[in-house]
Structure 1
Amino acid sequence: MAQQAPKFSLNHMVCPRWTPAQLIETAAEMGVGAVELRNDVGENSILDLEAASAAGHRAKELGIEVLSINALYPFNIWNEERAAKAQELARLVDAAGGRGLVLCPLVDADHSASAETRRTGLEQALTELDAILGRYGLQGFVEPLGFPISSLRTKAEAVEAIRSLGLESRFGLVHDTFHHQGAGESAFFADMTGLVHISGLEDPDIGFEEMLDAHRFLVGERDRLDNVGQLRRLLADGYDGYVSFEPFAEPVHALADPVAALRESMDFVRIGLAR
């Protein structure tokens, strides 16, 4: 039976000023079952085994699942540096007791590789990552980024590559509601989706191909991305994983009471899905 209500998670981007322990403790306080840690939130980043182990220990104490560390970038430009970084991050995810590693593609206006070259690079990266993640029993969460200058914009392209290599058991998609709209993608791949990220666009003067991370707020009544509609479709199609809040807008990060804002956004999504 299709899931009727979302399971929420907190990505550390909800409040980068929190320590990993504070993020985990807030999730427990809110009755949220999981968190996503990050390696790009300044002094609160997970960058070494001590920090990863401490976060994992606190999560286990409170019964909170660590979904991922976010992220390996740019995962689809494979070289010795990327291989070393992937090894390092896999060890950190493992130390934190995490489920997997988020994989983000190159976003660069000067990247002029052909479609064939991009596909070859993607397949090489997936093959190499299969071996690295496999050593720790981890998943790879491939997150296509819908920006016009992204080297991997659509979920369809990622799915095609994963399936062509027979790596469906290792890799799943991140369905990011912001990037789904940014790419102009209509296809949903609930069966291939391992994680969902949600955020809202409110500015009425910004087009979907112009929006940037700084425009990503919590989901509310002014949302233009149809987060509720996207979630309704994913849940109806059988997605039963976590829905993780991932706002990047500075006004969200500066909120005096982020917990109240998160509760309000959760209520908005729940009520919308119940209609």
Structure 2
Amino acid sequence: MKSPLRFALNRMVAPDLALADFIQMAKALKCDAIEIRNDLKNREIEYGMPATRVRELCAAQGITVLSINALYPFDVWNDERRAQALELATYARECGAQGLVMCPFNEPGDTRTDAQRAAALRTALSELAPILREYGILGFVEPLGFEVSALRRKRVAVEAIKSIGGLDVFRVVHDTFHHHLAGEHEFFPELTGLVHISGVEDRDAPLSAIGDGHRVLVGEGDILGNAAQIDTLLSTGYSGYLSFEPFAESVHGLADIQQAVGASIAHLQKS
């Protein structure tokens, strides 16, 4: 039996809204879960909002914090990354977040071989596993489909997680945008902890030129096959959240973002 659609809102939906207003919007849209971020200026973590205050605001409206997005680059392990991981794990536990999104190195100039990247990935996962266990949170590993990404496909992440005995604390993120960009065809519903959804409607841009700025809400013009991807995941056992994550400034500047998200929800429910 296919699971019902369960929607959540990543802070990237409306990064300029104050957290309290964002939570109210989620509640109005009947989305009972959100993701907060550590890469938005003047918001939550960077601004210095205590984790306990985030917990209070969400609890008052019956909202779950799915994740903090994100530890980057999680697969380049060093003392700085350990300190960052501990800081985010502490905040996640105190704000009530279920887990921490982890994104791989995603910049030009990475001269490492595939074997070196794979070894670095296993090292990072091995170091992160005991931290996640101690703090009682999950690690959501998110492959990025960009050509410069050190970890493009979920298959590589899944194999690395299994190889270090991390199935108790690691899950993968299925991002519909990155799944399409990487040309990936495999789904791992049993190990998927979170799904990020966004649409692309620019039919003229070559695949290699599509970036975060193209990511809008999912509508009729979507070329990523969001509806088909979601249908496959739900038909094969995934029962978690579908979290909206549009990066396009055209979305952030909408006069009525709540109406727009509501329309996208209705589109996906119909599709």
**TM value normalised by structure 2:** 0.98
> Hey, what does 1:178 align to over in structure 2?
177
Deviation of the 1:6 alpha carbon: 1.1
Q: Deviations over 1:217-264 (max 9, x none)?
A: 000000000000000000000100000000000010001100000000
Letter in 2 for 1:68: S
Residues 248 and 50 of structure 1, relative CA distance in 2, 3 Å threshold = closer
> Hey, what does 1:71 align to over in structure 2?
70
> Hey, what does 2:264 align to over in structure 1?
265
CA distance in 1, matches of 2:191, 2:48: 30
Contact 1:103 1:140 in 2 (8 A): yes
Contact 2:122 2:160 in 1 (8 A): yes
The answer to whether the aligner puts 1:247 opposite 2:250 as a matched pair is: no
Q: Deviations over 1:173-192 (max 9, x none)?
A: 11000000010000000001
- Summarize the alignment of residues 197-236 of structure 1 with structure 2, pairs less than 5 Å apart: 197-236=196-235
> Hey, what does 2:100 align to over in structure 1?
101
Contact 1:48 1:92 in 2 (8 A): no
- The 3-state SS of whatever aligns with 2:155 is helix
Q: Deviations over 1:164-219 (max 9, x none)?
A: 11211100011000000010000000001000000001111112332100000000
CA distance in 2, matches of 1:232, 1:107: 29
> Hey, what does 1:2 align to over in structure 2?
2
- The 3-state SS of whatever aligns with 1:42 is coil
How many residue pairs match? The answer is 271
Contact 2:197 2:245 in 1 (8 A): yes
Deviation of the 1:47 alpha carbon: 3.4
Deviation of the 1:50 alpha carbon: 4.1
CA distance in 1, matches of 2:204, 2:219: 17
- After TM superposition, the structure 1 stretch with the greater mean CA deviation from structure 2, 231-240 or 58-67, is 58-67
- The 3-state SS of whatever aligns with 1:26 is helix
Contact 2:41 2:47 in 1 (8 A): no
> Hey, what does 1:164 align to over in structure 2?
163
The answer to whether the aligner puts 1:30 opposite 2:25 as a matched pair is: no
Percent identity between matched residues is: 47
- After TM superposition, the structure 1 stretch with the greater mean CA deviation from structure 2, 252-261 or 57-66, is 57-66
Residues 200 and 226 of structure 1, relative CA distance in 2, 3 Å threshold = same
Letter in 2 for 1:257: D
Letter in 1 for 2:96: G
CA distance in 1, matches of 2:225, 2:191: 21
- After TM superposition, the structure 1 stretch with the greater mean CA deviation from structure 2, 177-186 or 199-208, is 199-208
Deviation of the 1:48 alpha carbon: 7.1
Contact 1:197 1:244 in 2 (8 A): yes
Contact 1:138 1:170 in 2 (8 A): yes
CA distance in 2, matches of 1:264, 1:249: 17
> Hey, what does 1:81 align to over in structure 2?
80
CA distance in 1, matches of 2:17, 2:94: 20
Gaps of 5+ in 1: none
Deviation of the 1:51 alpha carbon: 3.0
The answer to whether the aligner puts 1:12 opposite 2:49 as a matched pair is: no
- After TM superposition, the structure 1 stretch with the greater mean CA deviation from structure 2, 99-108 or 45-54, is 45-54
Contact 1:181 1:208 in 2 (8 A): no
CA distance in 1, matches of 2:21, 2:12: 13
Contact 2:40 2:46 in 1 (8 A): no
CA distance in 2, matches of 1:55, 1:162: 30
The answer to whether the aligner puts 1:115 opposite 2:114 as a matched pair is: yes
- Summarize the alignment of residues 141-160 of structure 1 with structure 2, pairs less than 5 Å apart: 141-160=140-159
C-alpha RMSD of the superposition:
1.1
- The 3-state SS of whatever aligns with 1:46 is helix
Contact 1:146 1:154 in 2 (8 A): yes
Deviation of the 1:49 alpha carbon: 6.8
> Hey, what does 2:139 align to over in structure 1?
140
Contact 2:10 2:36 in 1 (8 A): yes
